[in-house]
């Protein structure tokens, strides 16, 4: 058995691959639900009801998807250029720190200025958090996987210090949390009395902007060229370093936006549990979306559905919530396999 590269991929193949990998995941999940002692049909029904069954559950799914769209885009933009930014988690917290710094009373504008201002600050500081690491990579060949990953821990410890110390809200009854964002900086709700806020709309718009940049502009073109073959890009007069710096600014900045959106949209103040690993899940979102910005919207929605739905399912039919993680993980595996099969065909002949 061996793999052979396909010369041309038929247009219908990716769709078949997506459908069959979803089917494979569903079958796998069904087996696990049976092992957990419940009926898979009832389980899936509860899962989809939990994610789409009411206005509230739809809003909840959207709210969960919001940070994942941001971090998924951050990863997708960087990975396109083969820049392995594993640090979206840290850049998210930097964005949240910027929001807290500027948004808790230091400056006050009317909401229509204050909200864009907070997003801009989140972007700038998120980008600044990644900038030195890309310079280290380009000029001193320091591996960015190591630096971006380790920087996550440094940043989270910094957040922890600030929340336990100088930035601790005196009215928080001893909890390590920062002062609340001023009213003019809080993101309005899209559906009233739910947790779905403006951040979702911004995330989707950013994805569309990124899609435009990647397909229609010089920067997007250079990014792809540098990602596929930096040496050929360099020999054609494209500056690899400049492109990489641009990529890092975009990637770090978008991850920073996730922090703004979560702090000013969902919670209203910064805590240490602001992100339950959105930065890392964003990598999975990006992979699942095939590094395509519009794909990222769908894959973030999909993962949100699984998380929100599996939560509801576990309460309704008493299976462990961990099933959500297993389903997400197995989806990623099946999708990655299907991506390989889109590019290659299997030949069942000859020796193994």
Partner 1 sequence: MKALLNVENISKSFGKLNANKNITFNVATGEILAILGENGAGKTTLMNIIFGHYLADKGTIKFNNNELKPGDPKAAISAGIGMVHQHFTLAENLTVLENTLVGTQSLYHPNLTKRKSIDKLNYLAREFGLELDPKQLVRNLSVGEKQRIEILKTLFSDCKLLILDEPTASLTPQEVTTLFTSIRKMVTNGVSVIIISHKLNEILEISDRIVVLRSGAVVGEVKTKNADKTQLGEMIVGHKINRPNRGKNVIGETKIKLCSISVKSDNGTSILDKVTLEARGGEIIGIAGVAGNGQKVLAETMSGHVTPAFGTIYINGKNLTGKYPEDFMRSGVAYIPEDRNLDGTIGDMSIWENVILSETKNTKIFQKNGILNRINSHNLAHAVCQNNDVRYQSIQQPARLLSGGNIQKLLIGRWLIRKPNVIIACQPSRGLDEGAISTVHKTLLSERKKSTAIILISEDLDELLLLSDKILVLYNGKLSETIENRNVNINQLGLKMAGEGF
Task: Give the separation between CA 255 and CA 95, rounded to whole angstroms.
Answer: 7
Q: Which is nearer to partner 1, 226 or 257 (CB)?
A: 226
Q: Which is nearer to partner 1, 168 or 234 (CB)?
A: 234
CB of 141 to partner 1, least distance (A): 12
Interface residues toward partner 1, by CB under 8 A: 4-5, 7-8, 215-219, 221-222, 224-225, 228-229, 231-239, 350-351
Q: What distances in angstroms separate CA 141 from CA 90, 114, 126, 146, 246, one per listed residue? A: 21, 39, 22, 12, 17
Q: Which is nearer to partner 1, 3 or 329 (CB)?
A: 3
CB of 8 to partner 1, least distance (A): 7
CB of 340 to partner 1, least distance (A): 15
CB of 143 to partner 1, least distance (A): 19
Question: For residue 141, what is the DSSP state?
Answer: -
Q: What is the 3-state secondary structure (H, E, C) of 259-310?
A: HHHHHHHHHCCCECCCCCCHHHHHHHHHHHCCCCHHHHHHHHHHHHHHHHHH
CB of 15 to partner 1, least distance (A): 19
CB of 11 to partner 1, least distance (A): 12
CB of 339 to partner 1, least distance (A): 14
Quickly tell me which residue has 């899940």 as its tokens. Answer: 281
Q: What distances in angstroms separate CA 126 from CA 64, 119, 152, 187, 337, one per listed residue? A: 21, 10, 12, 19, 33
Backbone torsion region of residue 105, taken as left when φ is above 0, otherwise alpha when ψ lies between -120 and 50, otherwise beta: left
Task: Give the separation between CA 351 and CA 23, rounded to whole angstroms.
Answer: 30
Task: Give the separation between CA 68 and CA 133, rounded to whole angstroms.
Answer: 23
Are 184 and 117 in contact by the 8 Å Cβ rule? The answer is no
Q: Which is nearer to partner 1, 19 or 209 (CB)?
A: 209
What is the length of the chain? 352
Q: Which is nearer to partner 1, 171 or 348 (CB)?
A: 348
Q: Which is nearer to partner 1, 193 or 349 (CB)?
A: 349
Task: Give the separation between CA 206 and CA 70, rounded to whole angstroms.
Answer: 8
Q: Which is nearer to partner 1, 7 or 273 (CB)?
A: 7
């Amino acid at each position: 058995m061996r793999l052979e590269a396909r010369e041309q991929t038929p247009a219908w193949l990716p769709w078949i691959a997506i459908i069959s990998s979803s089917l494979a995941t569903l079958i796998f999940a069904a087996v696990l639900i049976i092992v957990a002692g419940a009926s898979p049909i009832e389980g899936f029904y509860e899962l989809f009801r939990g994610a789409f069954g009411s206005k509230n559950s739809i809003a909840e799914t959207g709210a969960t998807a919001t940070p994942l769209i941001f971090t998924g885009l951050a990863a997708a933009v960087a990975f396109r250029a083969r820049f392995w930014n594993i640090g979206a988690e840290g850049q998210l917290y930097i964005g949240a720190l910027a929001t807290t710094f500027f948004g808790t009373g230091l400056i006050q504008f009317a909401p229509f200025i204050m909200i864009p201002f907070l997003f801009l600050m989140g972007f700038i500081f998120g980008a600044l958090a990644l900038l030195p690491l890309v310079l280290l990579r380009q000029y001193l060949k320091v591996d960015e996987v190591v630096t971006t990953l380790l920087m996550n821990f440094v940043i989270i410890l910094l957040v922890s210090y600030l929340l336990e110390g100088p930035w601790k809200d005196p009215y928080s009854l001893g909890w390590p949390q920062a002062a609340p964002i001023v009213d003019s900086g809080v993101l309005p709700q899209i559906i009233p009395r739910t947790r779905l806020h403006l951040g979702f709309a911004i995330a989707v718009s950013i994805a569309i902007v990124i899609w435009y940049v990647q397909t229609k502009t010089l920067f997007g073109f250079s990014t792809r060229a540098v990602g596929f073959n930096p040496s050929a890009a360099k020999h054609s007069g494209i500056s690899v370093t400049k492109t990489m710096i641009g990529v890092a600014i975009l990637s770090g900045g978008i991850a920073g936006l996730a922090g703004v959106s979560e702090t000013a949209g969902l919670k209203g103040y910064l805590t240490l549990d602001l992100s339950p690993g959105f930065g890392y899940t964003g990598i999975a979102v990006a992979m699942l979306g095939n590094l395509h910005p519009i794909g990222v919207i769908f894959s973030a929605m999909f993962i949100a559905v699984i998380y929100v739905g599996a939560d509801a399912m576990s309460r309704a039919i008493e299976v462990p919530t961990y099933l959500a993680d297993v389903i997400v993980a197995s989806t990623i595996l099946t999708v990655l396999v299907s991506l390989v099969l889109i590019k290659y065909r299997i030949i069942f002949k000859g020796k193994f």
